[in-house]
């Protein structure tokens, strides 16, 4: 979810800002439980709006993962759970043994 630590929706009107916030929140949770980016199997990015919104959100994802995105699906949707929410990211995390 694109919420800050206080539960406020961030990046209203910006799929890229919302995708970045979702990824930041995901990383916080993964670090808390000892997971890394390579443990993501798969990533699903839900984006409200037109193709330009999907492109903006995907740009944020590729930049976040330094162009090495884990398995991912980018989906255009009609509506998400919160007013003004444009992006939601869902990840399945499976620990990869060293």
> Would the pLDDT of 63 be above 80?
yes
What's the pLDDT tens digit per position in 32-44? Answer: 999 998 899 899 9
pLDDT band for 98, please (50, 70, 90 cuts): low
Radius of gyration, CA atoms only, the chain: 13
Query: Contacts by 80-83 with C-beta closer than 8 Å and gap 24+?
Result: 80/46, 80/48, 82/1, 82/9, 83/9
Domains defined for the chain, CATH in brackets:
15-93 (3.30.1330.40)
CB atoms within 10 A of CB 12: 13
Q: Which two tokens stand for residue 42?
A: 């798969």
Give the mean model confidence (pLDDT) for residues 51-57. Answer: 98
């Amino acid at each position: 979810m694109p919420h800050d630590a206080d539960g406020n929706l961030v990046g209203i009107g910006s799929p890229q800002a919302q995708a970045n916030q979702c990824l930041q929140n995901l990383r916080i949770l993964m670090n808390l439980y000892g997971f890394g980016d390579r443990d993501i199997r798969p990533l699903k990015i839900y984006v409200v709006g037109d193709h330009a919104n999907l492109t903006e959100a995907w740009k944020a994802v590729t930049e976040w993962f330094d162009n090495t995105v884990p398995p991912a699906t980018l989906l255009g949707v009609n509506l998400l759970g919160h007013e003004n929410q444009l992006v939601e990211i869902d990840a399945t995390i499976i620990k990869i043994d060293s």
